[in-house]
Amino acid sequence: MNKMEKALGELGAMDELASQDSPVHRLNAAAKLLSTIAYIITVMSFGKYQLSGLIPMLLWPVLLFQISGIRVSTCFYKLRIVLPLVMAVGLFNPIFDRHILLRIGGLAVSGGVVSMITLMLKGVLCLMMSFLLVATTPFDTICAAMRQMHVPKTLVTLLLLTYRYVGVMTEELAIMTDAYHLRAPGQKGIHVSAWGSFLGQLLLRSMDRAQELYSSMLLRGYHQHFHYAPVRPFRTRDALYLMLSVGLFIALRLVDAAQLLGHVFVR
């Protein structure tokens, strides 16, 4: 099995995670989507030095991981390619921002280090919540929820078809990579001289397959309108979930819970 086939398997595994059953899976998709958006906005609104205020925001995803029965390690495994990129965002902050912000014992900590950790944490938190949304809600259902929220049809269809075509393109890439390596034994990756034709072929083959898929959809009555899987009705518990989560995010944004807790023990 090559890397592409593994990637394809992981894409399928996400669909399987989303079709499991747990109290989080059973929540209305729109409630989860809105709550996730609220969470991401709250996290992003923290200032670059507000690390202590940001740490309690970890509570929410950890709680959801527990309730949904999805392992945190699964999340980090799936995000292993994106996480280093997110972590790298603030890597140069300690070089440019050298003023001392706080001292821990005798150790001086510069503003750059704090802002770097804050940025990294923000990225990790946002990714964790996005992962939780996708791992507890089938993609079709998320799209259906977006339509319920009056997100334009074209945009939602585009998202859904992109999600589908990623699989098609990965399949083609897997076949081509296998074919290449069978005729280039011992070679790591694709040689630079073959990149042009490789990418060109990949594009042509993906387009052919996409065209065939689209024909198959047309022949089964598709007219630019997707009939999404029915979304679970918005019940009291969904409203409660939404209100509780958004309320908690606002509270954690306004009150620095970590600092407050610290004051209880240290005077």
Partner 1 sequence: MIIFENVSFSYERSKPVITDLSFRIDDGEAVGLIGANGAGKSTVMKLLLGLLPAEGRITVDELEVNKQNLSAVRRKLGFVLQNSDNQMFMPTVYEDMMFAPLNYMVSREEAEQRVDAVLERLGLQGLKYRHNHKLSGGEKRMAAIATILAMEPEVILMDEPTSALDPYNRRIVINAIRELDQTRIITSHDLDMIFDTCDRVILLSEGRIAADGPADVILRDRALLEANHMELPLSLCSRE
92 scored as a contact of partner 1 (CB under 8 A): no
Pair 62, 70: CB distance under 8 Å: no
Q: Is 48 in the site for partner 1 (CB under 8 A)?
A: no
What is the enclosing helix (H) or strand (E) of 125? Answer: helix 111-136
Question: Would you give the distance in Å from CA 256 to the centre of its chain?
Answer: 26
* Strand residue runs (E) in 4-156: 100-104, 107-110
Where do we find the tokens 């897997």? 174
CA distance 204 to 167: 15
* Nearer residue to partner 1 within complex by CB, 171 or 181: 171
Q: Which CB, 226 or 234, lies closer to partner 1?
A: 226
Give the shortest CB-150-to-partner 1 separation in angstroms. 21
Convert 49-72 to b/e letters by CB count within 10 Å (16 or more is b).
ebbbbbbbbeebbeebbeebebee
- Does residue 15 touch partner 1 according to CB under 8 A? yes
217 versus 246: smaller Cβ distance to partner 1: 217
Q: Does 162 bind partner 1 (CB under 8 A)?
A: no
Q: Does 179 bind partner 1 (CB under 8 A)?
A: no
Q: State yes or no: residue 230 binds partner 1 (CB under 8 A).
A: yes
CA distance 1 to 150: 42
Identified binder of partner 1 from the candidate list 222, 255, 259, 262, rule CB under 8 A: 222
**Residue 103: strand pairing partners:** 108
Report how far residue 243's alpha carbon sits from residue 237's, in angstroms, rounded to the nearest whole number.
Answer: 10
Please identify, using beta-carbon distances, which residue of 162 and 187 lies nearer to partner 1.
162
Four-point Cα dihedral 227, 132, 254, 258, nearest 10: 170
| Least Cβ distance, residue 141 to partner 1 (angstroms) | 11
Site string for partner 1, 111-150 (x = CB under 8 A): ---------------------------xxx----------
Among 186, 220, 233, 265, binds partner 1 (CB under 8 A): 220
Q: Is 178 in the site for partner 1 (CB under 8 A)?
A: no
Q: Which residue, 2 or 246, has its beta carbon nearer to partner 1?
A: 2
Quick note: the x/- pattern for partner 1 over 197-216, rule CB under 8 A, is ------------x--xx-xx
Q: Which of 81, 107, 182, 219 binds partner 1 (CB under 8 A)?
A: 219
Q: 100, exposed or middle or buried, with CB in 10 Å at 0-12, 13-18, 19+?
A: exposed
Whether residue 221 contacts residue 18, with contact meaning beta carbons closer than 8 Å, is answered with no
First to last CA, the chain: 59
Tell me which residues touch partner 1 (CB under 8 A): 8-9, 12, 15-16, 19, 138-140, 164, 167, 171, 209, 212-213, 215-223, 225, 227, 229-230
